[in-house]
Amino acid sequence: MLAALVATSLGPIRAVGQAVESPPASGTLRQAAKGRFLIGAAVSARGLADPRVADLVAAQYDVLTAENEFKPASLQRQPGRFEFATADRFVEFTRAHGMKLVGHTLCWHSQSPPWIFRGPDGKPLAREEGLKNLKAHIDAVAGHFRGKVVGWDVVNEAISDAKDEYLRKTPGLRSIGDDYIARAFEFAHAADPDAELYYNDYSNENPVKREKTIRLVRDLKAKGVRIDAVGMQCHLILSDSNAIDRLDESIAAYAAEGVKVAITELDVDVLPRRGRGADIGALEKDGANPYKDGLPPEVAEAQARFYARLFQVVLKRPGVVNRVTFWGTQDGTSWLNNFPVPRRTNYPLLWDRALKPKPAFAAVMDVLGRP
């Protein structure tokens, strides 16, 4: 994700507080999912420090993703100096509330210190030095959290958006070569052999990127590298009428490759968008902000219908989708208020800015509650 890094000096994350009354268990997402798949949210340390958010997260979800606190730039700003205190609080929170935890992410071209793959002159490190740095980071991080996370987003967003290019020209690729992805998976498996291993990306519900993702899965398997699931971020857009059909087709395609599917960063953007995906900020210099004074009921209902269709697809193939994680908890703190256009008022999640459930929440609960 492109959210800004959260400072690590926030103080202890509070446990579930008394500021609001938690919803009854019978009315929560984690109960409605009934163990068919994990359902979760991505939350920042700052978010969990708010007792209202902590209450909501603990009541509604059974798996948690830290928005930024497990990313390389948060854990190892300087070579060999690891800062685990804030990330450890997510472990404490999930253990206290009977939740699972996902590690996001071990290898990414963004929100990572440049020295891992580049020298002081900005040029790529020699292959063996880049591999040494990658292994040292994964060994330390996955080793520290061994047995504490259910799975790792091992490599994030490594596939190119360019039509005729397979892999993104990341610092890791420039230093090590195309096999840096396979090596990252090998290092992660060795450091935390019981954790699930995921490849995570955006727009991989779209045909071109889907085929590249399938190629990556096949490449990894051909090398004897273990990969358990493809993570589909699913930053979807309400006006994209074919998005759910593409998602359905892609889940089936990934399942045919023998991997599970995790929907890892779900939200539904209700605002006008000129482009697609999660990496188009440079294309969006300005944009309309039509809902500054509130989300119109008809738009809220359209969003609810969209979410309902999406969860019908999730349930369509039992055992294939093993997790659905929303990227955020409530509309006011969503990254989409500042992406791809800054300072807009967006409404992409199931709870509004007052932490009241929206029609989308009722729609998801209805789908999950059907026989």
- Residues 289-310 have a mean pLDDT of 97
pLDDT at residue 276, rounded to an integer: 52
Q: Would you say residue 54 lies in a domain?
A: yes
Helices and strands (DSSP H and E) totals, the chain? 12, 9
- CATH number, position 249: 3.20.20.80
Range name among 80-89, 202-211, 273-282 with the lowest pLDDT average: 273-282
Asked, for residue 103, whether it belongs to a domain, the answer is yes
- Decide if 156 is inside a domain: yes
Q: Identify the helix (H) or strand (E) that includes residue 200.
A: strand 196-201
Give the distance from CA 153 to its chain's centroid: 8
20 inside domain: no
Average pLDDT over residues 245-267: 98
129 is catalytic: no
Tokens of 52: 């209202």
Q: Give the active site residue among 67, 69, 196, 265.
A: 265
**What pLDDT score was predicted for residue 358?**
98
Which of 67, 69, 157, 196 is the catalytic position?
A: 157
Give the chain's domain count: 1
pLDDT band at 317 (very low <50, low <70, confident <90, very high): very high
Indicate whether 273 pLDDT > 80.
Answer: no
Q: Residue 204 — very low, low, confident or very high, per pLDDT cuts 50/70/90?
A: very high
Q: Is 21 one of the annotated active-site residues of the chain?
A: no
The answer to whether residue 18 sits within a structural domain is no
Query: What is residue 371's predicted lDDT score, i.e. its pLDDT?
Result: 82
320 has a pLDDT exceeding 90: yes
Question: In the structure, what pLDDT confidence band is assigned to residue 288 with cuts at 50, 70 and 90?
Answer: confident
Percent of the chain with pLDDT over 70: 89
Burial 63-97 (b: 16+ CB within 10 A, else e): bbbbbbbbbbebbbeeeeeeebebbebbbebbeeb
Whether 258 is covered by a domain: the verdict is yes
Q: Which range is least confidently modeled, 174-178, 203-207, 309-313, 340-344?
A: 340-344
Q: Which domain holds residue 94?
A: 25-369
pTM: 0.90
